[in-house]
Structure 1
Amino acid sequence: MPDLHYEHPALAEIYDLDSGWDVDREFYLDLASGGSKRVLDLGCGTGLLCDAYAALGHDVTGVDPAKAMLDVARARPIGAFVNWVEATAQTFRTGKKFDLIVMTGHVFQVFLEDADILAVFATMREHLAEKGVIAFETRNPRIDWKARWDGETELPLDGHTIRQSRIVQQHDAKHISFETKYHLPEKTLTSFSKLLFLSKPEIEDRLRQCGLKAKAVYGTWDKQPFDESTSSEMIFIVEVA
């Protein structure tokens, strides 16, 4: 079940203030270079990347389970040219094949059970065109995320600021649970989240179970090799095994 910062309309409206356009989006956009492509974005959220793909002439499908996020996505400048689908990545099905399938914004980590991860990879495998590419990222479990995440930030919006505070409540070798408070001008909203942290070998094993393999794993958005001890990100480029 999506947590509040995906589900609540007020939080969906400000989602991109903290998760907007950056080097990660440029990385994913560049994967579609070299002509018009059929692109599937699983967990597309507010449609920021889908909108950019569509603006370049790609045939884009954006899938997300949260209606509030899709409402924001549909209102984007090129939103009318994207096929928006309200569905989970586990259950989404269409007869169409895609040249590029992406899952961005660390969406991979919201799938807490093996059954869900395998179902997502099965969706990707079923919809991947011949010679197609899958790309997604997840955070390196070796990094001290609690130390990085506890604290407050301020998000600028229309002449005022929204204070965002995050506190990690529980963490172990594979999971982190945290509370995020959004101090809006008229109210405070609280979101509770839990994320899964798998190692590179664990993810590669699950890919193999679904007939997929990692073609490359980067540790940075400029395509430096993944280093288990220092890289914050694990960026997977995946193809059919």
Structure 2
Amino acid sequence: MPSTLYTDPRLVALYDTLNPVAADTAFYLALAEGKNHIIDLGCGTGLLACELAERGHRVVAIDPAPEMLRVARHRRNGEHVQWIEGDARALAVLSPADLLLMTGHVAQVFLDDTMFLDTLKAARYALRNGGELAFESRNPTARAWESWTPAQSRRRVNVEGIAEVEVWHDDVSGSPESGIRFNTYYRFKATDETLTSASELRFRTQDELAALLESAGFSHLSWHGDWNGAPVSASSRELIVVAR
């Protein structure tokens, strides 16, 4: 079952404020330079897809959540993006792309290796010869989930039309190998209502990701440990890969 973060209109309305343009956006925009046809798989509210379209790229954006796509379609430049409600199975009918992106740690949503491998194979099929796949996954050695406590994660954001919302994580359980489960709480100051979104994420090691990519047919892997291009180390918070 998908997290309510992607299906509840009240939480979808918060998504862009909680996930603004940042260093990851700049990394993927730079990677897209010189590439014509780009697929954004798991596009969410379409922030990156619309920015790519504004820069003249031909963009196909895919997401399984209709509420996210509803927001995406109404963005500036949204009319220049081909939006598809679906998952990696939609890739089979698209023309070959120069670049396929899976951003926002979407790779961690795949708890099962078989399902993730099927997605990577579909991505390989969707790319032209020499085309690239790029995505990021949190490095398990950084143990990000240990900071998903109310004391360390609590923050307050102001959202236009909604006012102040207090957000925090709690109830962490499970393991990085099988899936870390946690809840995110959203308290709306105007109504004193609290909504809860349950999530579960898989934390794969660099070796595990590399093995899956190679099994999917990718033979050249370039790794980064942060958005500035630093090499991967034990302290790296991210595992960013560009594969072809």
User: Which bin holds the TM-score, normalised by the shorter protein?
Assistant: over 0.9
Question: Whole-Å Cα distance in 2 between the matches of residues 223 and 32 of structure 1?
Answer: 15
Which residue in 2 is equivalent to 1:24? 24
Q: How does 1:114-153 map to 2 (within 5 A)?
A: 114-151=113-150, 152-153=154-155
Q: Which residue of 2 aligns with 1:230?
A: 235
Deviates more, 1:187-196 or 1:167-176: 167-176
Find the counterpart in structure 2 of residue 98 from structure 1: 97
Query: Shift in Å at residue 213 of structure 1?
Result: 3.1
Equivalent in the alignment of 1:154: 156
Q: 1:100-135: per-residue Cα shift (whole Å, max 9, x none)?
A: 100000000000101210111011111001211110
In the TM superposition, 1:161-172 aligns within 5 A as 161-172=164-175
Distance across 2 between alignment mates of 1:91 and 1:178: 30
Q: Which amino acid aligns with 1:6?
A: Y
Question: Is this contact kept in 2: 1:214–1:236, CA < 8 A?
Answer: no
TM-score by length of 1: 0.94
3-state secondary structure, aligned to 1:142: helix
Report the CA distance between 1:165 and its aligned residue.
1.5
Match of 2:185 among 181, 185, 189: 181
Deviates more, 1:139-148 or 1:13-22: 139-148
1:182-225: per-residue Cα shift (whole Å, max 9, x none)?
A: 11233321100000011011111111111113421100101000
Aligned partner of 1:12 in structure 2 is 12
Aligned-partner Cα distance in 2 for 1:91–1:80: 20
Unaligned stretches of 5+ residues in structure 2:
none
Equivalent residue number for residue 73 of structure 1: 72
Runs of 4+ aligned residues of structure 1 deviating over 6 Å after TM superposition are none
User: CA separation in 1, counterparts of 2:21 and 2:220?
Assistant: 26
For residue 91 of structure 1, report the CA deviation from its aligned partner: 5.2
**TM-score under structure 2 length normalisation:** 0.93
Runs of at least 5 residues in structure 1 that lack an aligned partner in the other structure: none
Secondary structure of 1:93's partner?
Answer: helix
Counterparts of 1:150 and 1:233 in 2: how far apart (Å)? 20
Q: Quote the Cα distance in structure 2 between the aligned partners of 1:146 and 1:39.
A: 32
1:43 corresponds to: 42
CA distance in 2, matches of 1:77, 1:122: 32
Aligned residues, how many? 237
Q: Is the 8 A contact 1:171 1:177 kept in 2?
A: yes
Q: Where does residue 59 of structure 1 map in the other structure?
A: 58
Q: Percent identity?
A: 36
CA-based RMSD? 1.4
Superposed CA deviations along residues 123-153 of structure 1, whole A, max 9, x for unmatched, are: 1111001211110000001112233221211
